[in-house]
Structure 1
Amino acid sequence: MNTLINISMRKFFVYLMLLLSNVLISQSAVKELDSLKLMLSKQDNGDYAKVNLLNTISYKNYGIAPEEIYNYAEKANLLAKKIGFTKGEARSKYLMGVYYLSKGNFKDAFGAIEKSLQLYKKINESHGESTCYDLMGTISYYQGNYKKAIVHYQKALQLAEELGSKKKQADFINNIGNINLAQGKLDEAIEYYNQVIAIYEELNDKKSILIPLNNIAVIYTRQGKNLEGLACFKKSLEINRKQENKKSIADDLINIGAVYSAIKDYDKAKESYREASKIYEELEDKNGISLCIISMANIYRDLGDQKKSLSYLNKALENYKKVNGKKGTLTSYHNIGTVYFKESDFKNAEKNFQIALNIAESLGEKRIIGMLNIALAKVYFHFKNYSKSFKYASKGEKIVNELSLLEEQREVNSILAKLYKSKGDYKTALEHHILYKKLNDSLFNKENIKKIAELEYEYKYKEQLQSANYKELQLTQEVERTALALAKSKQNLLIGIIIFLLVSVVLGGIILYQKLKNIKSVNENILMEQKLLRSQMTPHFIFNCLSVLQGVILNREIKNAVKYLSRFSKLLRITLENSRDKMVPLKKELEALQHYVMVQSLGVEKPFDYTIHKAEEVQEEEVLVPPMLIQPFVENALEHAFEEEQTDRKINVNLEYKDNQLVCVILDNGIGIASKKQSNILLKKSLATTITKDRLKMLSKEFKVDSSISIKDRREINEQGTEVTLKLPYKKIAND
């Protein structure tokens, strides 16, 4: 899908939109600008306020009047320098960088942002530093330096995490995903985009969810899932039209046109590209205009008008060379080579494909590298240089199979079939031809495949139905013959057979009922074990432990770090070991509990006292108990029982036999369940209690013992805190 070579360029505009906080290009924005300019003319609140107002007007001109971005930022910069307002000077330099980037001037853009970063560092302004690193990452990305871009984005992300800005974290993770997408690392890219979606869902920001969704749509189109991708792009376009966001409207139109072109609906593709081009021209956006030119060139190439296509592509190449846009230059050479190939001018096709391949390898564009290797394999096949053709085809096949690019897989299997045929290896040639046909059907005959599948299903269903009817008819005839024979012989025998059949049906029903009951019981056990595993070590607890360990290491507290890591690893090991068995020695359960409490005690600011006491008659090595029954209640006490200001924190765990029952009592001196705060927490955090109750209910049936949980506020006995009483099922290990 050559048209989709251009899709990655749309990220240029999406990045800028994110960096300027999604400024809405609308009539209301123009009115806001007029209001700000009026305020500027009446400004008498001091030079600091004037600098901020000038920067704000510069910021608001994005997408409306590009030259005004620079003019107002320059005025702000001069005034800020004069009065020594470093923050205002840093902001104005940043806005100048945005202006240069919108014009495709990467060198001046990077220089301006570097100056802005140094000024922000001078005054320790983390938010400004993060924004600068983000834009530096974007510039590095479009210069083809992906490694450097990721370094800048990760620095921006680290600062955003320190500031606690979820929205910025989402933006920066999305940018890292974009780099993985450009390098053909599709699985990694989807993983990053899903992280972004999760953050936006947490923030309930439905509009911003469309950004990572659009990126996933790009991946769909590359994998030949055009309808899924088109649906995402159209949804984005609908929202952006309502908000009159011109930049984003143009970006969506480019994507929609690319998908229409891929499915050969060229009229709709042209319509989308023309509308996008008008918007880019209105915004004086050279990169966007060049992108539209290449897209239109690809349509004329596919329609057979190679002369017109080549004219468009040479114009685009000239534009990209002026702004040193390597990715656009790569796209232009690639498409020019494709046009020459269509015209059977294989010499010029080879020349342009080789130039494009060199650029793609320098940029690390894995997907494009695969496509160009296949293109060169086709060229050398026409030159009858089969050894060279096979070399490039093999390289291309490896890459496109790795990236699951359906259309490119189709192309490479087609050329490999021809190559093996030329060698006389007809068996391998046939295998590749079959793969080519399957992929061709997958890409262009999805509806036919669906219909065939439906017909196949219907045929098989009717065939089975007819077979069942025939068997039923045969059985009926057999029964009738048997009945006649029995009637002629002995009536008593018939009655016996009928009774036997009735008894068999009843017994069969009982057996089936018991099997279903057993299956249900097994499923309940499996579900309970899954819930138990999920509740044992929550991701939140593990994350907190690792965060504490990170802090200890960063503070160079080596001994504490080793101690903490040792405790934590033992806790994980024991928890995993215990989870394998239905019953474990009480000693192991208490050991796991002790490690858990000690790990928790190392990671809290306010210490707490805890004791684990068992009566003398409780021999921990001779008693087996179900795992993970006590720990959830100790965890609830640690996390929810105590007020922030409480310093005297105690938790006691006592084990003893009462009336031949193993009883565990968990005491704390916290706020008690009768308090409003603790009651609310118990309502929200009832998962552990619910799972434990269900487990005890099932274990009671299995071991035929009474098991129960009771929770009460200690205020009832004039004490402070909560008391949890567990009657545990147990087994004693028989001594030889």
Structure 2
Amino acid sequence: MLLLFLQNENFIFPMKWIKFILMKQKMIKWSGVMLLLFLIVSFQGFSQEENEAPVITKPMVIKGSVKEKKTKKAIKDVEITIMGKGTVLTDVFGDFRIQARIGDEIVISHDSFETVRYVVKDGQRVDVEVKENPVTIRSQKLSKKRTESEYQENLQLARSTIRKDVSASIGYITKSLESIQEDDPKGDMKRAELYETLADIYSFSKQPDLAESNYRISLSYAYNTDVKIKLGKAQLEDKNYQGAFKTFSELQRSRLNAEQKILVLEGLGDSNKGLENSSGAIQNYNSALSLSKRKNLDDKEISLNTKLADILQEQGNTSDAAGYLDNSVQLAQQQDRKTAARQRSVAADFYNKSNSYDKEIQLRKEALADIEEIEENAEDELLEEDKAITPQVQNYKIANAFAAQEKYDEAISYFEESKKEAASKNDLIVQKDATRKLGEVYREKGELEKASEEFEEYEVIVDKLYIQKEQEISQAARFGRELALSANRIETLEKDRELNETRYQLAFASQEILDQKSLRQQVMIYFLIGLSVLLLLMAYLMFRNIKQQRYANNLLALKSLRSQMNPHFIFNALNSVNTFIATSDERTANRYLTDFSLLMRAVLENSEEDFIPLEKEIELLRLYVQLEHFRFQDKFEYQVEVDPAIDVAEYMIPPMLLQPYVENAVWHGLRYKSEKGTLSIRFDKIDEGSIKIVIEDDGIGRKQSKALKTNNQKLQKSRGMGNIKKRIEILNEMYKDKVDVFISDLNGNEEGTRVQLILKKDR
């Protein structure tokens, strides 16, 4: 019975006591048994007391939120801690979820307020409202002061470095944007100011399209009349005359001060001029001029008089135009010398167009005197727009005026002075033009030896200019990449700001419907959709930016290829001149050099164009073939045939596209033929949208020509043919298969060569 009692599941008894009882069982008397029963009953009572201890509760999920008491604004990243059981952080809505038991203490802590403690009593929500810590408030105020200082400092640096380093200036704009806090009450005004400055930078960098878009962004943050006037000017620079007219027309309905009215009227005049509405332009210019006179704004009077003179000259009304121009010169004389020199140069250009050379020469000499005074007094350096009033340019134009009157001795002295000034200032363009014109004047005077020296010097300068142009193209490409990176950074900041603003708005909306769980889920879904749309939009903008960058790179590549003249042709042409001179055939040399200079001049004039009319290309081709035939009269005859059904004015073609194929035909086909060959160039119409250009020669053929090449020639690549292939590839990429080229043997015996080009009309 005792053992059964000891085996009771509710009884807890040490085993050593049981062993002790069993060993001493025989020795125990009734009194001992009674004592033992008493002890057992005592232990059973102790066990029952232990079984009556409180039952441990199961864990539950406690939900809650933390908000600022005054503003009801949710506080993110608050630490919600249960000692020994873990920590969670509040989300963007200020909400949290944590597992706890009844009786646990929740510790709510954050740097912005004093720590709060809460004991869990049940499973209800725990919504806590807190007050900001005074120390934190002072710290935030100091942080805002530092941020404001950084903003102002970066903005000033951006404005002061526009003319020195555009890339650095954009970098300062980026830093200023980063310093604007989301809760800054002046945030929109600051962003409007920064995007205006960024647009000013792009306007200075001659990128009016980017300037226009950033002026619009600035206006979207805060309307400003001056910024909208700048927007109109950017549209004018981008030749968006219809858009500029609309912008300035809207400004007329705004409240404007006198200076703004003048700028708006002038902008309307420029827009009308661009839209070929001469009468409207004259009316606007005159209205602006009258207001400028009343307000004594001499600078605007000078500008408006000049614009009226220009448009009247275009209409053929030279007498009235001269009157306006004389007024502008008289007003400029009352200003500083730079203004006077600039206006005299403008007036001289006007008189040059009307063949009033004496008046032109007088004005340019007066401008030269002003320029010398400016340089002696070391006044402000000349800006980009003031390059027309340099000594080398004015001397060059004076010389041209004398040459037009056949006063060659006076012209020579001014051309020499222009060359000297241009060389001292590394102005290769003016130096090149002055050298070429000097050679032409010597040739007209009959001093052929001096003319030849000038033309040789001209060729050297042209080579230097090509090298300089290539460097400028490389610098422009690098500058474009830097600008693209800076623009992408600013665009990313703007998208991040918009995204953060969207998040905040969604969070605020969630606070109002905190107890409506289903509605909050919908808000989250909308947020994700909006985020996806934003990401898709950003991807599209990046794709468009990459596409624009690729297009710009193609343009740069075209310019680089276009700027490379065929050195093989120039070298051989000069050798021919040298041969004629060595054989004392000066008349032939002079004739050849004259035709050669005409070709070079035409090529240089077209060097900056992507496309020229087919008519011009045919003229260049005829002149080139004539020169080659002049050198190899005993090697081939040629014919150039143009289908009368082709309207050559309707087709556009890249300049010097056909010349490398003709040169290959002469130099590698016909030149090595024993008997006299034939070169045929035909322009045939295929249909209304395309023509066929066929260049045929009955020379030795491609196979024999390749066999005749020396080892050195095999190692060298044909630069002309390489360039033409690259140009055609780029053009076809940009303009969707504009030119197709097919090269084949003329006959089955692999003699002769046929080059066939398909040229398509612009749609």
By percentage of residues, which structure has more helix? 1
- Higher RCO structure (Cα 8 Å, ≥6 apart): 1
TM-score, with length taken from structure 2 = 0.31
Task: Compare CA radii of gyration and give the structure with the larger one.
Answer: 2
By percentage of residues, which structure has more strand? 2
